[in-house]
Structure 1
Amino acid sequence: MTESRQPVVFVHGLFLHATSWTPWVELFAEAGYAPTAPGWPNEPATVAEAREAPELVANTTIEDATDHFRKVIDSLDAPPVIIGHSFGGLITEKLLGEGYGAAGVAIDPAQIKGVLPLPLAQLRSGLPALGNPANLHRSVALTAKEFRFGFGNALPEAESDELFGKWSVPSPARPIFQAAAANFVLHSEAKVDTANSARGPLLLISGAEDHTAPAVVTRSTLRQYRDSTAVTQLREFEGRGHSLTIDHGWREVADAVLSWLKDQGL
């Protein structure tokens, strides 16, 4: 009988399409896992289609997306490893805290409720959405310049522009508003059960030069887990920005995740 492969679910964040995980999916498949990278609710199948119909994802909330991935996980034969980037990292933390998944990896995760630091770079990276209150129920697309500040600031401009052209799509602005207001909302959808000691192991990853999810924010996120005895670790990559899952150095990050999963027996 063929031994079943460990499922892996990749969860992308805002302003990137699900297909941006393709190199990771291929690498994890080669490493013996059973990976999948579903899009967010109502996300079109291709970058081109997503750009043509931004209204399809407008007004999607953190809870809408989280529930979508709950259903994906429930359809699998075994608890998966959940790997998320940016708001996908926040969703990964929420799911793991709820007992979903065998383990979680949150890469440059969006700010969860309870995290207080708000660096100026992070505030500026959120302005394309937060700068207009009417964006709350809309989808928003970044310009190449905005993408460079929020994602590609640690890259040569030519590479940042190439990644923008290849992967960037309009995304719902509402999760950004929800995360920004999380500490002022009693039942915020950005809240994570960080005290759960029965959950699977969690690896937080940050890029030291990240503007969108600055390293100080990820270190503060780690401190939110101080009441849990479950494995919670942090790995910081020097000289890397928010693009670390899609730029020329993605393989270094992916290999680090594979190594960590091996250490966890997964």
Structure 2
Amino acid sequence: MTTPTPVILIHGLWLHATSWNPWLDLLRQAGYAPSAPGWPGEPDTVDEARANPGSVADHGIDDVVEHYAKIIAGLERAPILIGHSFGGMIAQKLLGQNLAAAAIAIDAAQIKGVLPLPLSALRATLPVFRNPANKHKAVSLTAEQFRYAFGNAVSEQESQELFERWAIPAPGKPLFEAAAANFNPHSPAKVDTANDARGPLLLITGGRDHTVPESVTRATLKQYRHSDAVTDIQDFPDRAHSLTIDSGWRDVAQASLSWLKNHAI
């Protein structure tokens, strides 16, 4: 009997790992073996994460990459990675290190070399950047800030429900590292975009995303122009940063499954 292909789902800032639960069920039904491990130090539940924000504080990009690399090392075969926001950046780094069979990066945080810095992205991340000391702290969003950064394409009621269900404090360090990436030759946000031997990559972008606007994802695509490996992009014009958790999540998940099927992964 063939062992199901493992899938690791990697969340981004301000969401708990359990926000992937609907995806886990769908991926199991599709014949995969999915899991959604949290970031280093992340408690098991949303309530615990809110009560203990210091548990995730001061974890940077390299910490998170190493954390997931160790999880991958314990698997019998290379997994498929599906990452959202900073999880999408982490997935790209691991794919570039040949630790994954394929990766899907959904509204992925900008990697080194990506130049666009839209005003909406600055506003979405202002709760972190307004205080330099936040680099070493965990920062929470208010419901209003969450609506701007995540829930601007859904109703105010749905955005509030998503905030109450999934939002947790997030470490500020990855945002500071990404912001300085193009000034640091050894930035942890650097991805091996020229790797010809890596597995296929799908970039998904939401056309109404304030946090990672479409211009950032399209600039990310250009970073892969020197690689012969498969790099595809899919646009959801009417979706924002909540596209993996809101009422339209299944459309994004089904598109991901279709892409995997098309590449026989």
**TM-score relative to the length of structure 1:** 0.99
Match of 1:148 in 2: 147
- How many pairs does the alignment contain? 265
1-structure distance, mates of 2:212, 2:42: 23
Cα-to-partner distance string for 1:102-142 (whole Å, 9 max, x where unaligned) = 00000000010000000000011110101110101000000
2-structure distance, mates of 1:207, 1:221: 14
2-structure distance, mates of 1:4, 1:113: 36
**TM-score relative to the length of structure 2:** 0.99
Match of 1:222 in 2: 221
Cα-to-partner distance string for 1:57-76 (whole Å, 9 max, x where unaligned) = 00000000000000011111
2-structure distance, mates of 1:190, 1:217: 14
Match of 1:132 in 2: 131
Matches within 5 A, 1:245-260: 245-260=244-259
SS in 2 for 1:72: helix
Distance apart, 1:3 and its partner CA: 1.4
2:72 equivalent to 1:73: yes
1-structure distance, mates of 2:92, 2:158: 30
Match of 2:34 in 1: 35
2-structure distance, mates of 1:75, 1:26: 22
Identity of aligned residues (%): 60
Superposed CA RMSD = 0.4
Which runs of 5 or more residues in structure 1 are unaligned? none
Cα-to-partner distance string for 1:50-92 (whole Å, 9 max, x where unaligned) = 0000001000000000000000111111100000000000000
2:61 equivalent to 1:87: no
Distance apart, 1:208 and its partner CA: 0.2
Matches within 5 A, 1:155-234: 155-234=154-233
Distance apart, 1:163 and its partner CA: 0.1
2-structure distance, mates of 1:123, 1:186: 23
2-structure distance, mates of 1:135, 1:42: 17
1-structure distance, mates of 2:217, 2:205: 6
Cα-to-partner distance string for 1:158-215 (whole Å, 9 max, x where unaligned) = 0000000000000100000111111111100000000000000000000000000000
Cα-to-partner distance string for 1:26-51 (whole Å, 9 max, x where unaligned) = 10001100000000001000000000
Which runs of 5 or more residues in structure 2 are unaligned? none
Match of 1:262 in 2: 261
Match of 1:48 in 2: 47
2-structure distance, mates of 1:219, 1:174: 25
1-structure distance, mates of 2:216, 2:237: 15
SS in 1 for 2:117: coil
Q: Which runs of 4+ in 1 moved over 2 A?
A: none
2-structure distance, mates of 1:82, 1:67: 14
1-structure distance, mates of 2:190, 2:87: 14
1-structure distance, mates of 2:165, 2:75: 30
2-structure distance, mates of 1:240, 1:180: 24
2-structure distance, mates of 1:178, 1:265: 35
1-structure distance, mates of 2:81, 2:99: 9
SS in 1 for 2:23: helix
2-structure distance, mates of 1:209, 1:75: 38
